[in-house]
Structure 1
Amino acid sequence: MSKNKIFILLPDGIGLRNFAYSGFYNHASEQGLDVVFWNNTPFPIADLGFSEIPMKNAKINPWTDIYKNVKIQTEIKLNIKRTKDNVYNSYRFPFSYSTIKKTAKSLLVQSLSLFYFSDNGLLKIRKKMNKAERKTAYYQDCIETLKKEKPEFVFCTNQRPVLAIAPILAAQDLGIPTATFIFSWDNLPKATMVIETDYYFVWSDFMKKELLFYYPNIKETQVFVTGTPQFESHFDKSKILSKEVFFEQYDLDKNKKYICYSGDDVTTCPDDPKYLEDVAIAVRELNKKGDSLGIIFRRCPVDFSGRFDKVIDNYKDVIKAINPLWEKIKEEWNTILPTQEDIHLQMNTIEHTELVVNLGSSMIFDYASFKKPCVYLNYDVANKIDKNWSVSKIYNFVHFRSMPNKKTVIWLNNAKEIEDKIKLGLQESFETVENAKNWFEIINQHPPEDSSKRICKTIQTILAN
């Protein structure tokens, strides 16, 4: 019996980890799916032994990006109107006026978003965006590829990129069913849905409710809860190195216990270097009192800046930087690509550290997978780099409202209590870990190691019907 050919659309590098580096390809093959990666990333999928078709002439209509930004502004304003909640304003990116061209674009987006501020206006903007993309040579190339290859399903790994619009429209215009995966736990309140597909794959029942709330034009029968492959690797213990090998490989002190400081990008946390310094000072003090601790600093994979260098150098007695193994192809953040090696590095970093300290990231779920606690930074430093930034802005984001209770993490409410909270995390963290696991179950369908299987099974179900 011939297998059903499906295209896995990679409009950018975001989907590599979930669908190229996970067990997805093997599970798909086992379930009778012939997977072909429709690849718009610089990474050669064929090197992994997978079938791929590189995309050609992937260039959007100049108006598409303007319409996308109008759509985002309109959705955010409609969400505020619908909920009477101004938190959605915090999801706006500031307009740029640094050049004449950027000023003109910013003013145009603001004007159009005022003009189209209604549900009907939003529908018109979506139609304009699709009409613009159908005029591109890129769209025609997608049509030709699909006619030649004849896939039975097109699955997009990320709902955000404008470069996904043309191939999805081409598939729909040819009568090929389409789906997209919502790639991150915080995406839906941010108005990041750029493409419209026939089906939507989400992490959890919680995310399904979000999707139907923010996009009432989507029907419940179009949405499938599958979980995300993002955490699958944590349950493959064959990739775990022994402590001796890992410590030797990264020049760690075998007599120390390590905690992980997981960094953020500069936009999310401009004061991250100061927070790292505060934790390093506390660890130093604990060591003076008889502990033997160290910090493994894992920077945000898309942060290649030197902003942490001074702190790392000043506290090299306690901080060991182990950088993520991502490849920087271009300057844009979405062209910084994950590697399979980094998945293994992250797993082993979690395995060989006692807890993680960070500012509100999903690393809590990575550590929960290893039954280890998470410490959330929850105070503003004295001399903030950006006076308008605050941790309160981060924890006010909608996705944190899914946290079952405040004891899901260990909160660092000021620098003076870091010592005590680290000791707490090292000694008495059972309740915190259990609550984190409960939050993980709310956020992501369990068991998490079966997400790829569920996605493949769902695709088969759609094709059968």
Structure 2
Amino acid sequence: MKRIGIVITDGVGYRNFVMSDFLVEISKKYDEVNIYSGIPAKCYNDSLIPENIKVFDLKQYKETKKVWFYRKLKEVAHMFLHRTSYGINSNLERGYPVSNSNRSLIIKLVYKITSFFHSEKIIQFYEKLQFNAFKNDKTYIEYKNILADHKPNQLFFTHQRPPYLAPFLAAAKELKIETSAFIFSWDNLASKGRMLGSFDGYLVWSKLMQKEMSVYYPYTDKNKIKVVGTPQFEPYVLDRYTITKQEFLEKFKLDSNKKIICYSCADAGIGKNDEIHIRAVLSYLKNRSDIQLLIRTSPAEDGKRFESLKNEFPEIVWNFPKWFLSREDHAEAWSQRLPSVEDVKDLKAILLYTDLNVNMLSTMSLDFMLFDKPVVNTVFGNNENGLYNDQKFLNYIHYKYVVSSKAVTIAKNEVELHQFIQEAIEQPSLRKQERKQLLDLEIGAPLPGTSERIVKALKELA
């Protein structure tokens, strides 16, 4: 019997691995497939789940003080080791406490220890201490019993970072179950902290990411790092998520005679300048009666922060992503927001039928480039002008590739924004070749057949 467990941690993982063709493809190749879910099993759309796949709720794990301390040692040591990466160093500096509360003093101790002891070998030792500290925990024991009962040959984590899944990984290791993880996003290696643990194998987007794995996780067997692309874009080539342009225009009450600019917002935490950017777009549109503005807010929030802007400018068309909160009693509430089929259709239609995208250095740049649409990135803030410093993200390694590719234009003020919007409207194909080259670098395989490649890679890892 070929059995595999799939660990889905959050709403984005649900979109990537449930709303793509992944479950259909994996159900063909394995006798039993169990989903171990960090979101309530009752929220899964039955029409998307093949018959031989079962969904099980994962009990929420709460760290003990000892586990938390060892995890912090591991994570901070990783950041010290790789602090030459601007993004990692930025997170390292931001994480140092300014207060002297009991917790802050412990974190300062962690920083002190790891500033001296942060080799890869030491990091592996911190992880061993962390995983050994699970042994008498009730949730860990429950996880171990579940896996012992289900007997999967493999356990595939669709996200490599959430620390609350570490005891599930530890239980799999204890039972000698083969483990693998998908690197969740294009910035997760060069800009984020340590993974939740060490896996036997990894699935990555591209050859670029494959090289990064060898840098940030040097103990990894290179033959166990498989390039598969990413399922987050696969719905764009699936007919079931396509609506006609007329349906799109009617749904959002858009004028068929006008071009459409889509401004896609960042998450509230890093999108503090969103309103400033939007007002700058609106100032350009004052003299352009032939262009309309559609704004899509982040699925991770409800969009309430834009209420005053919405009232002030009734001409703006808004798309608030139709993601619903599956539960409220969770330490990371944003992770419990689930996408609807309707929202995937809405997003694909926006990518298909709008003429230009403006965003603050987000993955949405890739989404729009997949449909060969020009992209302008807005970063108005720096350390001198009093705005939230979004220009710092230009120094993150993953976005340096974007900037150097010249596939997008970077607007650091309103004047530049107006100039680049004008360029994109008048010459939409100007950066066509650069967009293609960047997509080839960042997404290492064609969108059609992504799920089949993932399943094939998992079989090879076994």
Aligned counterpart, 1:226:
228
Amino acid at match of 1:321: W
The CA RMSD measured in Å over matched residues stands at 2.4
Cα distance, 1:381 vs structure 2: 8.0
- 1:315-326 matched pairs, under 5 angstroms: 315-317=313-315, 319-326=316-323
Quickly say closer, same or farther: Cα 1:385–1:26, change in 2 above 3 A.
farther
Please say if residues 6 and 153 of structure 1, whose CA atoms lie closer than 8 Å, have aligned partners that are also in contact. yes
Residue of structure 2 aligned with 1:295, choices 293, 296, 311: 293
- 1:108-123 matched pairs, under 5 angstroms: 108-114=109-115, 116-123=117-124
Cα distance, 1:8 vs structure 2: 0.2
User: Is 1:327 paired with 2:324?
Assistant: yes
Cα distance, 1:211 vs structure 2: 0.7
Where structure 2 has 5 or more consecutive residues not aligned to the other structure, the ranges are none
Quickly say closer, same or farther: Cα 1:151–1:87, change in 2 above 3 A.
closer
- 1:236-385 matched pairs, under 5 angstroms: 236-287=238-289, 292-304=290-302, 306-317=304-315, 319-328=316-325, 329-330=327-328, 332-380=333-381
Q: Distance in 1 between matches of 2:96 and 2:11?
A: 26
Q: Distance in 1 between matches of 2:91 and 2:136?
A: 31
- 1:55-94 matched pairs, under 5 angstroms: 55-56=58-59, 58-80=61-83, 83=84, 88-92=88-92, 93-94=94-95
Please say if residues 70 and 129 of structure 2, whose CA atoms lie closer than 8 Å, have aligned partners that are also in contact. yes
Q: Distance in 2 between matches of 1:257 and 1:293?
A: 5
Amino acid at match of 1:327: F
Figure out how many residues of one structure are paired with residues of the other and give that number: 451
Q: Distance in 1 between matches of 2:281 and 2:323?
A: 25
Q: Percent identity?
A: 28
Q: Distance in 1 between matches of 2:251 and 2:128?
A: 54
Quickly say closer, same or farther: Cα 1:337–1:239, change in 2 above 3 A.
closer
Secondary structure of the residue aligned to 2:194 is coil
Secondary structure of the residue aligned to 1:36 is strand
Quickly say closer, same or farther: Cα 1:162–1:374, change in 2 above 3 A.
same
Please say if residues 274 and 381 of structure 1, whose CA atoms lie closer than 8 Å, have aligned partners that are also in contact. no
- 1:188-227 matched pairs, under 5 angstroms: 188-189=189-190, 190-227=192-229
Report the TM-score when normalising by structure 1: 0.90
- 1:63-212 matched pairs, under 5 angstroms: 63-80=66-83, 83=84, 88-92=88-92, 93-95=94-96, 100=101, 102-114=103-115, 116-189=117-190, 190-212=192-214
Q: Distance in 1 between matches of 2:181 and 2:55?
A: 18
Secondary structure of the residue aligned to 1:285 is coil
Secondary structure of the residue aligned to 1:133 is coil
Where structure 1 has 5 or more consecutive residues not aligned to the other structure, the ranges are none
Quickly say closer, same or farther: Cα 1:273–1:69, change in 2 above 3 A.
farther
Secondary structure of the residue aligned to 1:37 is strand
Please say if residues 13 and 159 of structure 2, whose CA atoms lie closer than 8 Å, have aligned partners that are also in contact. yes
Quickly say closer, same or farther: Cα 1:446–1:249, change in 2 above 3 A.
same
Please say if residues 64 and 162 of structure 1, whose CA atoms lie closer than 8 Å, have aligned partners that are also in contact. no
Secondary structure of the residue aligned to 1:155 is strand
Q: Distance in 2 between matches of 1:105 and 1:22?
A: 43
Please say if residues 234 and 366 of structure 1, whose CA atoms lie closer than 8 Å, have aligned partners that are also in contact. no
Q: Distance in 1 between matches of 2:313 and 2:36?
A: 46
Please say if residues 204 and 445 of structure 1, whose CA atoms lie closer than 8 Å, have aligned partners that are also in contact. yes
Please say if residues 14 and 157 of structure 1, whose CA atoms lie closer than 8 Å, have aligned partners that are also in contact. no
Residue of structure 2 aligned with 1:38, choices 36, 40, 44: 36
Residue of structure 1 aligned with 2:22, choices 18, 24, 28: 24
Cα distance, 1:394 vs structure 2: 0.8
Provide Cα deviations, 1:349-382, integer angstroms capped at 9, x if missing partner.
Answer: 1122111100111112111221211111143389
Secondary structure of the residue aligned to 2:131 is helix
Q: Distance in 1 between matches of 2:210 and 2:432?
A: 25
Deviates more, 1:114-123 or 1:95-104: 95-104
Please say if residues 154 and 178 of structure 1, whose CA atoms lie closer than 8 Å, have aligned partners that are also in contact. yes
Quickly say closer, same or farther: Cα 1:160–1:416, change in 2 above 3 A.
same
Please say if residues 405 and 434 of structure 2, whose CA atoms lie closer than 8 Å, have aligned partners that are also in contact. no
Q: Distance in 2 between matches of 1:382 and 1:159?
A: 33
Q: Distance in 1 between matches of 2:87 and 2:433?
A: 29
Report the TM-score when normalising by structure 2: 0.90
Quickly say closer, same or farther: Cα 1:381–1:160, change in 2 above 3 A.
closer
Cα distance, 1:309 vs structure 2: 2.2
Quickly say closer, same or farther: Cα 1:65–1:298, change in 2 above 3 A.
farther
